[in-house]
Amino acid sequence: MNFKLTDEQRLIRKAARDFAAKELAPNAREWEETHTFSRKVFDRMGELDFTGLYVPEEYGGTAVGRLTAAVVFEELAKGCFATAVYVSVHNMVTNLIYQHGNPEQWERWVTPLASGKKLAAYSLTEADAGSDAAALSCRAVRTDGGYVVNGTKLYVTSGGVADVYAVMVRTDENQKAKGISTIVVEKGTPGLSYGPSEPKMGLNASPTTELIFNDCFVPAENLIGQEGQGFNIALGALNGGRINIGACSVGLAQQAFDYALTYAHKRQQFGRPIVSFQGLQFLFADLATRIEAARLMVYRAASLMDEGQPCVAEAAMGKLFATDMAMKVTTEAVQVLGGYGYMRSYPVEMYMRFAKIGQIFEGTNQIQRVVISRELIKYKGGKRPDLY
């Protein structure tokens, strides 16, 4: 087992770290307060090759793989969690189309997405189909040359600002999961409109909207894979997406930790820096241990995926542990700053608000437990014989 990043991975990490420190971190608070999504930032991420991390060069990407991507998302999240999240979703969708699409679809969508010319979004959730996503009801009815789509999707990250939407729709009323298909709908398609960007607890630099389909005609060539495969395609994408959210949460937690530790060195009470109190030293020791454990879990799941090994449980464990860890670390960072931590003039309260969404999206942490336990009972004794 090798824990050392390659020279190439270290160079990519440096590029992501520098970009996050110089171009994301100084603006994150303003974007959050003003609910600003910056397309220029996405364009810059395209120039820096962060938009096609799983797709080969031939189709505009760099194909650096899951582990390197996890390192990139971790670094970006240190600068702006909301930006790291939406670019991770963009990469997830780009790869979904590459994995399940055909060569014409690669030319049409994967190349502009991977090179950062277009932005992608993922649309599974509906008002009555969240954790039970297979209950979705947005309908795509077969017609001459394509589908007519009607219904409303909920909580779409980059809704309204994305150019390409991977949308899970019902093509067969008589089946549940097997009646779902994945179609690509492009911005500007007649019959597609967006709800207003939802004001949220955090993550306001990343718009979250409804997608509203009103007799929206989508050509048959926009179907990804076969009819009825959409639910498996959607879940497969989320498997990798969970590694990404885990990675973003590690970066966020590290940023909160570093801020709190630096503060604890400077803040004086009882005539000495508060970092000299053992009560805080032990807290920092516990938090650093959790961050390290989460990072290793996320990197491990990413490495398994790079090797083409099964990693459904490991990805879910990484997401579960890393997002709970980020909630704990950011909450304690507020505590370390005391009253100042509660103020908007310091960043830690924002980190804490960011952390909460990690426990909810790409499958709530209760659903991660469902996924993990389902995988465990496949193996006698709960352990994968090839791994442990």
Ligand X SMILES: Cc1cc2nc3c(=O)[nH]c(=O)nc-3n(C[C@H](O)[C@H](O)[C@H](O)COP(=O)(O)OP(=O)(O)OC[C@H]3O[C@@H](n4cnc5c(N)ncnc54)[C@H](O)[C@@H]3O)c2cc1C
> What are the residues binding ligand X (CB under 6 A)?
89, 122-125, 130-131, 155-157, 200, 203, 208, 357, 360-364, 366-367, 370
Taking the least distance from each CB to ligand X, the nearer of 123 and 182 is 123
Q: Give the shortest CB-86-to-ligand X separation in angstroms.
A: 9
What is the number of the residue whose Cβ is closest to ligand X?
A: 130
| Dist CA 303 CA 296 (whole Å) | 10
Q: Give the shortest CB-135-to-ligand X separation in angstroms.
A: 10
Taking the least distance from each CB to ligand X, the nearer of 68 and 206 is 206
Q: How many residues does the chain have?
A: 388
For residue 327, CA distances in Å to 101, 188, 246, 330 come to: 37, 38, 12, 5
| Maximum C-alpha span of the chain | 79
For 16-59, give the DSSP string: HHHHIIIIIHHHHHHHHHHT---HHHHHHHHHTT-S-TTS-GGG
For 83-144, give the DSSP string: HHHHHHHHHHHHHHHHHHS-HHHIIIIIHHHHTTSS-EEEE--BTTBSSSGGG---EEEEET
Taking the least distance from each CB to ligand X, the nearer of 156 and 235 is 156
Locate 15 and state its tokens.
Answer: 């590029």
Taking the least distance from each CB to ligand X, the nearer of 31 and 259 is 31
Which residue among the candidates 74, 332, 362, 375 is catalytic per the annotation? 362
Taking the least distance from each CB to ligand X, the nearer of 110 and 320 is 320
Q: Give the shortest CB-280-to-ligand X separation in angstroms.
A: 32
Q: Give the shortest CB-359-to-ligand X separation in angstroms.
A: 9
Nearest to 248 by CA among 212, 203, 305: 203
Taking the least distance from each CB to ligand X, the nearer of 87 and 367 is 367
Active site residue 362: yes
| Dist CA 184 CA 107 (whole Å) | 14
List residues bridging with 186 in a β-sheet.
Answer: 164
Q: Give the shortest CB-184-to-ligand X separation in angstroms.
A: 15
- The residue with tokens 């080969």 is 56
Q: Give the shortest CB-111-to-ligand X separation in angstroms.
A: 22
| Dist CA 136 CA 171 (whole Å) | 11
Residues annotated catalytic, as ranges:
362
